[in-house]
């Protein structure tokens, strides 16, 4: 099998285990929720740091 040939790409596409629709939706929601959680976490950290700097007068 040659690298970057159409037959090689086609063979590799057949070897891949593609997720079922329910798995895809479930894993997508997991990624979305973790991303939202990290966004809230960093928002809280940024707000706390800003408030602390204002409190100490910087």
Q: Flag whether pLDDT at 10 surpasses 60.
A: yes
Residue 14 placed within a domain? no
Check whether 5 has a pLDDT greater than 70: yes
Tokens at 50, concatenated: 């800003």
Mean pLDDT (the chain) is: 93
- The reported pLDDT for the residue numbered 28 is 98
pLDDT at 37 over 90: yes
**50 belongs to a structural domain:** yes
Could you tell me if residue 33 is inside a domain? yes
Write the DSSP assignment of 31-44 as a string of letters. Answer: HHHHHHHHHHHHHH
13 belongs to a structural domain: no
- How many domains does one find in the chain? 1
pLDDT of residue 7: 87
Q: Is residue 25 part of a domain?
A: yes
Cβ–Cβ < 8 Å for 1, 9: no
To the question of pTM greater than 0.85 for the whole model, the response is no
Q: Where in the sequence is the domain holding 47, given as residue range(s)? A: 21-58
In a domain, 9, yes or no: no
Is 48 domain-assigned? yes
């Amino acid at each position: 099998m040659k690298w970057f040939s159409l037959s090689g790409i086609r063979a590799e596409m057949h070897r891949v285990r593609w997720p079922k629709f329910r798995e895809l939706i479930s894993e997508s929601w997991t990624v979305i929720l973790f991303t939202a959680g990290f966004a809230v976490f960093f928002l809280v950290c940024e707000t706390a740091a800003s408030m602390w700097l204002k409190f100490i007068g910087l």
